[in-house]
Structure 1
Amino acid sequence: MANRGYLAAMVACGVLLTGCDGQTGPGAADLGPGPAANESSGPSAPEGLIGSWTIADLADPGVGTILRLADHELYLVGSRCGILRGSWRADTDGNFLAEVNSTVSAAVEGTPDCKRVSQDTPGWLRRVTAYRIDGSGRPVLLDNLAQPVARLLPGATPTAGPDMAASLLEPPTVTDEARRALAPAAALPPTLNPADQHRLTGRWTPAVGHRGAYLEFTTDGEWRGSDGCNGGGGRWITATGGALLATTGPVTKIGCPDQVPVWSWLRTTRRAGLDGEALVLLDAQGREAGRLRPAD
């Protein structure tokens, strides 16, 4: 899902980073909500995830040593290929989703293996569907069975390098924008039926707009789509109450008539429900972000 133009632009800006892992993603059985983790820990504060963390208790320490979460940006630091960049989503019910979609290390361009893994979310991170904040205020990342995948220890500081942006050496802070993005979502309206993983899987087309626009959700937790001119994709998970979180990677910027902003829909979606056969995507305030129908 990495975009070469996007990568070049980042390098031109002087933000040169590194990171990688070649693990494959989970099967469909590994996907699912993570609410089981919350049955014992209660509601969580997702802004507590923002920080620069040392990754602990991970079965494969070769995938990186530092996870930096800032607003919706993610950096994975410390593996043989350098630092990877991606995005993450979380909510107050303890659901968590992340992906790796690019690198901004110029060295990776000439290394086929590192270029490939820079576009593939590490296997351990793909297993994470939930989180909890433990008694000491430290995040624990969990799989769909509420089992710990990794623990995050505070105070991590990447080692300064000639190609590393100075901003990445500073711990990220919780901004007002982040608080708004991570605020509790309105409940699904009673007129809609919750759209779970089974009901979402498949191809959908917008109710109005460009005939070539679509969203397709696959059983392995990936989605792909088009606004009618540009292709893109990311990852997705569902949870109880119609909760839907999706990450979005870089996309091209080709213009055409009747484009449908499917990327914006998914970036803002917090709930998904069915109105008959129509799929309705809702933002945190319960406002309709987009409406789709099953593809013919």
Structure 2
Amino acid sequence: MRSEKARQGRLATLVVMGVLLSACARQGHPEAAATKPPAMGTTGAAESMAPEMLIGSWTLVDVADTGAGKILHLADSELHLIGSHCGTLGGSWRANDEGVFLADVWSASTVVVENTPGCEKASQETPGWLRSVTAYQFDGAGLPVLLDGRGQAVARLIPGATPTPEPDKADSVLEPPMVTDEARRALTPAVALPATLVPADQRQLIGRWAPKSGHKAAYLEFTADGEWHGSDGCNDQSGRWITAAGGTLLATARAATLAFCADSVPIEQWVTTARRAGFDGKVLVLLNAHGSETGRLSPTS
């Protein structure tokens, strides 16, 4: 009996020492204690990071720019920022199960834009606070928190927001968003980058790229401010982009013209369906969530 009690006492002591050593290690390395988007896989604990849990009508809390909107409406890939001084702003968003988040605003109510000074420009620019968001996580209550590149909270999302009718506001924006099969497909976890490719990072992607074949005027350019520009050969295209570990690449796309031309290259589709980016030598390879190639491009200089 004494031997068993002694053994239990030694185990308890070891557990306490382990906790103390762990705490000391975190104090000695501040970066280990910093808030960072969790890097999870696609099973087990990662279920709590399912990006479809972001779909909803959310009241924005703790946003530094109080005039940039009061409600964030996320439905499928569409985004609406409601209650700004320019009414309702529209755009798109992307997220993945690794906690990466990207938003892009590029439209607004025509009535408001035409009658409110400064709103034409605002309708074509993502608000600064929303541009700074690069990740998300869920707090202890299971509510979403949007984070910047340093892992600091930019906004907290409270469910149940109820938008009020406005000129030109679609009925779909007034209704609570639902998680559809289309949304699940768009947000499906991406398979890992093939071992034959070297993961691309933000620094390596910046620059101008040309497709291996197709229209000679087609191109894709990533800029350091998180914007991408391109052409299928006849239509100018653009959006925002973000990278993360493992060659993760997420990108949005804005409205574009639809002129027809022979040998056009689906640059926009390549970029927006891509979930990973890697290098085969100097060639940039874009892959979708299932690991299938969406396009190959070479540097132009």
- Per the normalisation by structure 1, the TM-score is 0.85
Q: In structure 1, what is the equivalent of residue 196 of structure 2?
A: 191
8 A Cα contact 1:83 1:105, kept in partner = no
Deviation at 1:52, TM superposition (A): 0.3
Identity of aligned residues (%): 61
8 A Cα contact 1:82 1:105, kept in partner = no
Give yes or no for the alignment of 1:202 onto 2:171. no
Q: In structure 2, what is the equivalent of residue 145 of structure 1?
A: 150
The CA distance in 1 between the partners of 2:138 and 2:290, in whole Å, is 25
8 A Cα contact 2:111 2:167, kept in partner = no
Q: In structure 2, what is the equivalent of residue 20 of structure 1?
A: none
Amino acid at match of 1:206: P
Deviation at 1:195, TM superposition (A): 0.6
8 A Cα contact 1:50 1:174, kept in partner = yes
8 A Cα contact 1:48 1:133, kept in partner = no
Change (3 A) 1:39 1:293: closer
Deviation at 1:188, TM superposition (A): 0.1
Deviation at 1:137, TM superposition (A): 2.1
Matches within 5 A, 1:40-189: 43=46, 44-109=49-114, 111=116, 113-161=118-166, 163-189=168-194
8 A Cα contact 2:148 2:154, kept in partner = yes
Deviation at 1:232, TM superposition (A): 1.6
Amino acid at match of 2:36: A
The CA distance in 1 between the partners of 2:168 and 2:36, in whole Å, is 42
- Higher RCO (C-alpha 8 Å, min separation 6): 1
Counterpart among 275, 278, 286 of residue 281 in structure 1: 286
Change (3 A) 1:105 1:222: same
Deviation readout 1:97-155 (Å, 9 max, x if unpaired): 00101113323135451001100000000100000122222110001111100000000
Amino acid at match of 1:78: G
Matches within 5 A, 1:230-241: 230-241=235-246
The CA distance in 2 between the partners of 1:245 and 1:55, in whole Å, is 23
Pairwise CA RMSD: 1.8
SS at match of 2:184: helix
**Structure index of larger Rg:** 2
Change (3 A) 1:159 1:176: same
Change (3 A) 1:40 1:241: closer
- Per the normalisation by structure 2, the TM-score is 0.84
The CA distance in 2 between the partners of 1:178 and 1:276, in whole Å, is 34
Amino acid at match of 2:277: A
8 A Cα contact 2:109 2:167, kept in partner = no
Deviation at 1:161, TM superposition (A): 3.5
8 A Cα contact 2:35 2:152, kept in partner = no
Amino acid at match of 1:237: I
SS at match of 2:163: coil
Q: In structure 1, what is the equivalent of residue 36 of structure 2?
A: 36
Unaligned residue ranges in structure 2 (runs of 5+): 1-33
Q: In structure 1, what is the equivalent of residue 4 of structure 2?
A: none
Larger displacement relative to structure 2 (215-224 or 40-49): 40-49
